[in-house]
């Protein structure tokens, strides 16, 4: 330690302490109401309209207008061109009817002719699925029927399940009942008989009590929700 109270070999960093500028009411009101200050306008405009901010503004505006255009397009009435002064009716697999008007607009109607829905452009993909005679679906069903096991046991059963594939009027389903599990059921839709969403079928499975030992066959009705 030297006589000047300094330590040899150690480095010290000098920090410049800036004095805080005191609040000035005059500067505040000059900036707030300086409408005729060319310097102020130039400073503000240069801060707002540099190239990076202009790109961000443009992207935001384009996104807003693009979203509005897209929503307007998909919500327009769907039009199907089948020829001048022509109309058509196409029966859908759920018992409803696709009715194409003479002007090309399309509606979904029930069997009594009541309009269920006016189709829009956004409904096109769903309409394609309905018009296909086959395809995968996940529709809940309720079932009830009579089953028999390999030991001669016969009993009534009720349960719920899923319809997961259809081909014309044939449905493939899986379901659980109060007595057994049926991974495979094959049913036939009764739509043409006026029983919409109702099918009759046969399923194979096994009971819970003797799993994989008590093989069962069930004759059942199913109703799609």
User: Domain limits at 202?
Assistant: 134-224
Partners of 166 in beta bridges: 135, 171
Q: What is the pLDDT along the chain (225 residues), one digit of tens a residue?
A: 444 455 555 555 555 555 555 555 555 555 555 555 656 666 666 666 667 767 777 788 888 877 777 777 777 777 776 666 577 777 776 667 888 777 778 888 877 778 878 787 777 776 766 667 788 888 999 999 999 998 888 999 999 999 999 988 899 999 999 999 999 999 999 876 767 789 999 999 999 988 988 899 999 999 998
Scanning the chain, the segments in alpha helix (DSSP H) are: 25-33, 38-48, 51-74, 124-131
Pairing mode of beta strands 170-177, 180-189? antiparallel
Q: Which of the listed residues 115, 131, 147 is the one where a domain comes to its end? A: 131
Phi and psi angles of residue 12, each rounded to the nearest 5 degrees, phi first: -125, 140
* pLDDT for res 67: 76
Partners of 82 in beta bridges: none
pTM over 0.85: no
Please check whether residue 15 lies inside any domain of the structure. no
**Which residues 6+ apart lie within 8 Å of 91 measured at CB?**
97, 98
Do 159 and 191 fall into the same domain?
Answer: yes
Do 141 and 220 fall into the same domain?
Answer: yes
Do 145 and 218 fall into the same domain?
Answer: yes
Please check whether residue 17 lies inside any domain of the structure. no
């Amino acid at each position: 330690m030297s006589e000047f109270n300094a330590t040899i070999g150690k480095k010290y960093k000098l920090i410049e302490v800036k004095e805080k500028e005191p609040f000035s009411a005059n500067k505040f009101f000059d900036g707030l109401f300086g409408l005729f200050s060319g310097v102020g306008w130039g400073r503000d405009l240069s801060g707002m309209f540099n190239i990076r901010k202009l790109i961000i503004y443009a992207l935001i505006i384009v996104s807003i207008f693009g979203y509005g255009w897209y929503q307007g397009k998909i919500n327009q009435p769907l039009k199907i061109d089948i020829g001048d002064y022509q109309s058509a009716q196409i029966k859908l697999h759920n018992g409803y009817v696709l009715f194409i008007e003479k002007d090309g607009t399309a509606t979904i109607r029930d069997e009594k002719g009541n309009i269920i829905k006016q189709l829009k452009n956004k409904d096109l993909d769903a309409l394609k699925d309905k018009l296909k005679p086959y395809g995968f679906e996940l529709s809940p069903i309720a079932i009830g029927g009579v089953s028999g096991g390999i030991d001669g046991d016969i009993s009534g059963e009720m349960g719920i399940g899923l319809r997961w594939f259809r081909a014309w009027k044939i449905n493939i389903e899986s379901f659980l009942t109060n007595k057994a599990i049926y991974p495979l059921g094959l049913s036939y839709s009764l739509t043409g008989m006026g029983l919409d969403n109702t099918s009759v079928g046969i399923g194979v499975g096994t009971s819970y009590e003797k799993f994989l030992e008590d093989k069962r066959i069930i004759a059942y009705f199913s109703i799609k929700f």
